[in-house]
Amino acid sequence: MTDDSSVIRISEIFGPTIQGEGALIGQPTVFVRTGGCDYRCVWCDSLHAVDSRFRADWRAMTSAEVLDQVRVLSGGQPLMVSLSGGNPAIQPLGPLIRQGHAFGFRFALETQGSVSRDWFADLDVLVLSPKPPSSAMTTNWAALSACVEAAVAGPQIVLKFVVFDAADYAYARDAAARFPGLPVYLQPGNHTPPGPQDDDAFIDTDGILQRMGWLVDLVMADRWFAAHVLPQLHVLLWGNKRGV
């Protein structure tokens, strides 16, 4: 029998492919997407890993089973492993990170910063992506600060913001001012929702690039030279297709 506290709910494991966004954009990566989330962002592009109606598709796996699959996908070569979701912080990922490090793997985790864990300090990269007004979610700033404090002695910590409009941009400016020591990454939001199969739905590439240009112009006009403005590269390459 497996201790339930050590079971990880997995939505999908795939790769290697490139990381499509943020501080690790372009880096070869295996993705471990967990199931379950404490948020319901209105523009969520990963509902298959968030909504409980997809729970039957999630697998209960031990950290050893997850690591075995990662090693098969990577051909036994250590590389970056991206822990995503949903919100991966609600899963017991500490043992997976420690076991993976023993084989030379590195781990990046992306979370909205609503739940802090002591094992954040064992990560190599912690991406905090608090959700702006367009998500229809409310940020708990104390919880986000707790995530920073939990990881401060360990990984590289960065802030990443999806920006759809002026209110989102103002939110990103305010959030970055609260954590002045953290690198900031901005990306234009993808307003094309996934199709019925979350795959090859039409992507308004022109609209995304126009929003990208608008965002660059705002950052330059504000002389916010500490911010990195990047596209969601995976969206431009593969649209909403899953598993890439």
The CATH number of the domain holding residue 201 is 3.20.20.70
63-73 and 94-102 helices, crossing angle to 10°: 40
Asked if residues 123 and 92 have their Cβ atoms less than 8 Å apart, the reply is no
Number of residues in the chain = 244
Q: How confident is the model at residue 1 (pLDDT cuts 50, 70, 90)?
A: very low
What is the tens place of the pLDDT at every residue in 67-87?
A: 999 999 999 999 999 999 999
Domain count along the chain: 1
In a domain, 91, yes or no: yes
Exposed/middle/buried for residue 69 (C-beta within 10 Å: 0-12, 13-18, 19+):
middle
In a domain, 42, yes or no: yes
In a domain, 88, yes or no: yes
Residues 6+ apart with CB under 8 A from 85: 11, 33, 34, 35, 36, 37, 46, 49, 50, 91, 110, 111
Domain interval for residue 96: 4-238
In a domain, 99, yes or no: yes
DSSP 140: -
What is the tens place of the pLDDT at every residue in 185-222?
A: 999 887 665 544 444 456 777 878 888 899 999 999 99
In a domain, 244, yes or no: no
What pLDDT sits at residue 210?
87
What pLDDT sits at residue 5?
56
Q: Token match 């295996």: residue? A: 30
What is the tens place of the pLDDT at every residue in 125-145?
A: 999 999 999 999 999 999 999
